[in-house]
Amino acid sequence: MITFFFFLLGFIFMVVGVGELINRRRMMLSSTLLIFLPILQYVFGTEWMPISFSFAILPYIVMPISLIFINWRWKVDLRLLSAGWSTLFLANLGFLLNKIDPGFVDMISILSKCIIYLGMIQPSFSFIVDDLQVFLLGGFPTEYIKKVMGSFNLVNIKNTNREREIIWINDKVEKNSDIGVRTILVTLYDLITYTNLAHFEENDNLYIVRVLPGTRSFPNTFEERIMSINDDLNQLDLLLSDVIKFSTERKVPCDIILYSFSHLIHTHGARRIYSFITTKIPLIKASHVTLTFFYYPSSHEKESDIVIFEKLADSIIT
């Protein structure tokens, strides 16, 4: 019973974990209710072998099907995880049908779990797609400077002037382009759109990420250097982590401008955003990525909510 309990608990956690990654927690959790079907055999007082058989093989069916579907629907690389779980399914199916020797099943299971482990430690749910990769690797600098190192900067907007802020962003994009730095503008709730930016359609030096509210799938819009993601801090975390990793591996300098940081704090809370930023700063320092976040001090009721971030910043631009 102890073994059964941990097996049951582990299976539920794995399935719900997959649901967490695709924002389908309730749906995946409800699917685990199927594992209670064997209780019916005790209710009816009979040996209901089909249900017992189904229960034994169910975990190895649900996981590979879920991963293959996610791989197809959201275009994420889950080949190692899918291969590992599919092999586990075939091995256990062969064992239940008495088609494979138990010792051989153990060998296959060990190999399959090694493959699953390799898939787990890789950034499988990557937001870096071909379109964004091509953008990051593009650009022709007109002047060369020494290697750009990562930093976290805040742009203090004391007096709201939308036109001045847009001009600042356009100038920043052009300056970055001259020295070979790629610019990604993360705009919350369409506070700034591509129509506000100078000659965006002809300008290949800027990539826009729109953070929008509402229920959305994983990003599937990659058109004209514009990408849309949910207003979900986990998705933004994945995006930044992927850009930082790609930039570090390829030695590509990149400037990520977020407009605006204050809106992010108001939506998700200062404490959660603080935790989010502090986990990113060590990665930024060791990379070629600069974070440039706009913020409005006057919009925060508590001065402490913004002071803690100012202390983290390498510089405050006014």
User: Alpha-carbon distance 23 to 8, whole Å?
Assistant: 22
Asked whether residue 71 falls in the same domain as residue 136, the answer is no
Q: Which residue has the higher pLDDT, 69 or 50?
A: 69
Asked whether residue 23 falls in the same domain as residue 167, the answer is no
User: Alpha-carbon distance 216 to 219, whole Å?
Assistant: 8
Give the per-residue pLDDT at 222.
37
pLDDT at 125 > cutoff 50: yes
Buried b (16+ CB within 10 A) or exposed e, 96-128: eeeebeeeebeebbeebeebbeebeeeebbbbb
Domain C-terminal end among 89, 121, 153: 121
Backbone angles phi, psi at 159, to 5 degrees: -115, 115
Q: What is the mean pLDDT of residues 48-68?
A: 73
pLDDT at 89 > cutoff 70: yes
Asked whether residue 105 falls in the same domain as residue 177, the answer is no
Q: What is the mean pLDDT of residues 295-315?
A: 88
53: Cα within 13 Å, side-chain hemisphere: 10
65: Cα within 13 Å, side-chain hemisphere: 9
Q: How confident is the model at residue 65 (pLDDT cuts 50, 70, 90)?
A: confident
Asked whether residue 47 falls in the same domain as residue 105, the answer is yes
Asked whether residue 97 falls in the same domain as residue 203, the answer is no
Give the per-residue pLDDT at 118.
84
Q: What is the mean pLDDT of residues 117-133?
A: 65
Asked whether residue 116 falls in the same domain as residue 152, the answer is no
Q: Per the structure block, which two tokens stand in for 243?
A: 């850009």
Asked whether residue 182 falls in the same domain as residue 303, the answer is yes
Detail the DSSP E strand segments found in the chain. 151-156, 182-188, 206-212, 222-223, 226-230, 254-259, 289-295, 315-317
Asked whether residue 186 falls in the same domain as residue 239, the answer is yes
Q: Which of 34-43, 51-60, 83-92, 113-122 has the highest mean pLDDT?
A: 83-92
Task: Tell me the average pLDDT of the chain.
Answer: 78
pLDDT at 130 > cutoff 70: no
Q: What is the mean pLDDT of residues 100-114?
A: 89
Query: What CATH number did the domain enclosing 208 receive?
Result: 3.40.50
pLDDT at 257 > cutoff 90: yes
CB 194 within 8 Å of CB 228: no
CB 123 within 8 Å of CB 243: no
Give the per-residue pLDDT at 246.
82
Q: What is the mean pLDDT of residues 151-167?
A: 83
First to last CA, the chain: 64
- Residue 170 is part of which domain span? 130-317
For residue 266, give the 3-state DSSP assignment.
helix
pLDDT at 302 > cutoff 80: yes
**Residue position matching structure tokens 């600042």:** 168
pLDDT at 41 > cutoff 60: no
Q: Per the structure block, which two tokens stand in for 105?
A: 């099943």
Q: How confident is the model at residue 7 (pLDDT cuts 50, 70, 90)?
A: confident
User: Alpha-carbon distance 130 to 247, whole Å?
Assistant: 14
Asked whether residue 134 falls in the same domain as residue 62, the answer is no
Using a pLDDT cut of 90, give the percent of the chain over it: 11
How many residues are recorded in the chain? Answer: 318
Domain C-terminal end among 68, 94, 121: 121
Asked whether residue 206 falls in the same domain as residue 261, the answer is yes
Give the per-residue pLDDT at 215.
47
Give the per-residue pLDDT at 46.
55
Q: How confident is the model at residue 300 (pLDDT cuts 50, 70, 90)?
A: confident
| Amino acid, single-letter form, for residue 46 | T
Give the per-residue pLDDT at 111.
93
Asked whether residue 291 falls in the same domain as residue 152, the answer is yes
CB 74 within 8 Å of CB 63: no
Q: Which of 312, 162, 134 is nearest to 222 (CA)?
A: 134
User: Alpha-carbon distance 108 to 84, whole Å?
Assistant: 10
Give the per-residue pLDDT at 59.
76
Domain C-terminal end among 76, 102, 121: 121
Q: Which of 311, 299, 266 is nearest to 157 (CA)?
A: 299
Asked whether residue 157 falls in the same domain as residue 299, the answer is yes
User: Alpha-carbon distance 258 to 269, whole Å?
Assistant: 16
CB 157 within 8 Å of CB 165: yes
Q: What is the mean pLDDT of residues 237-265?
A: 86
Q: What is the mean pLDDT of residues 134-162?
A: 72
The number of folded domains in the chain is 2
